[in-house]
Amino acid sequence: MNPDVQILRGLRMAGEAGASGAALAKQLGVSRAAVWNRIEDLRRHGYEIEASPHHGYILRASPDALHGDDLMARLPSPKAIGRDIRVFTETASTNDVVEKLARDGLPEGAVVFAEAQSGGRGRLGRTWVSPAGVGLWFSILLRPRLHPTSATQLTVLAAVAVARAIERQTTLRPAIKWPNDVLVGHRKVAGILLEMSAELDRIRHAVLGIGIDVNVPAEAFPESIRTVATSLAAEAGHPIDRPALATQVLAELDHLYARLNAGDFHEVGDEWMRRCSTLGQHVTIHMGPRAVAGRAEALDEDGALLVRTEHGVLERIVGGDVTLDRRA
């Protein structure tokens, strides 16, 4: 394991009690001088590490920046998601980086964050605005044993994980809008873009891209979406700790993905339904040139939305853009 991961993990576990240089050196199998060098390097990256003669090293504060080693240090034993975390200062789209890693044969669970994206993509060919240092823009490589028609389960799982993490790290109460937007107070704070490579009967790999508008200032959103988009900081009234939220989302995802692999998707689906503000509403779903209007009744076992049209027909919807029908 990378020494910085071990040092940061040791410091976080020790907390106020501090971790002695000798203990860290022993754990890493290096000299105390080598530990000191690593500590100095972490300080240069913005980690405030106090060196006390009695308590050893104490981590007092960490920067509001994403560091792969620190994120891995905060996730002690991921089953799959978060075993390998990479952070880029800027990339076009993290989904593209992960797609390349998938083709290179990387095992599932690798996560790529970018502090900024120059070509962030949203669903339905939209642009995803991804300014530097204020959001969480990341993608995860998955190799699920799922039939391609069940791929929606992955976005359902991701929406639940993001909603849970926001709830645990803030005082906000997020809701889910089908299929996978996370809203706070009726405005979107996070979106999910699933892209995959599949054969007829199996998914080769899936790239789960997640964008969370954490501390994005209102003026960073294009004017056209300012009434429908917001950030967690704007809603909470104070900045949100991005590395802590990132860790929480990955931990929730890892946990829920293990449940899915154990055949327990129905429980995740039930939670999605409880959190979903679309169910029970009169909606119109636009799917390219086609539109279906009706009452959103339920989610099926594959994550598709079941809509009862005005003719009483139950339509199964797997994708599209939902608008609430306020006249209904």
Using CB under 6 A, which residues numbered 170 to 189 contact ligand BTN?
A: 181
Here the tokens at position 89 are 């200062």
At closest approach, how far in Å is the CB of 212 from ligand BTN? 8
**The one among 9, 67, 74, 121 contacting ligand BTN by CB under 6 A:** 121
**The one among 6, 94, 153, 247 contacting ligand BTN by CB under 6 A:** 94
> Cα separation of 272 and 174, whole Å?
12
Q: Is 320 in the site for ligand BTN (CB under 6 A)?
A: no
> Cα separation of 232 and 249, whole Å?
14
> Cα separation of 121 and 127, whole Å?
5
At closest approach, how far in Å is the CB of 142 from ligand BTN? 14
**The one among 20, 95, 248, 278 contacting ligand BTN by CB under 6 A:** 95
Which 3 state secondary structure label does DSSP give 160? helix
Burial of 103 (0-12, 13-18, 19+ CB in 10 A): exposed
**The one among 6, 20, 62, 93 contacting ligand BTN by CB under 6 A:** 93
**The one among 19, 159, 192, 232 contacting ligand BTN by CB under 6 A:** 192
Q: Residue 42 or residue 101: which is nearer to ligand BTN going by CB? A: 101
Q: Is 123 in the site for ligand BTN (CB under 6 A)?
A: yes
**The one among 211, 294, 303, 320 contacting ligand BTN by CB under 6 A:** 211
Contact (CB, 8 A) for 241 and 229: no
Which 3 state secondary structure label does DSSP give 262? coil
Here the tokens at position 139 are 């993608």
| Total interface residues for ligand BTN by CB under 6 A | 21
Using CB under 6 A, which residues numbered 126 to 155 contact ligand BTN?
A: 126, 128, 130, 137-139
Here the tokens at position 319 are 């994708």
Sign for the CA dihedral angle at 157, 162, 167, 173 comes to negative
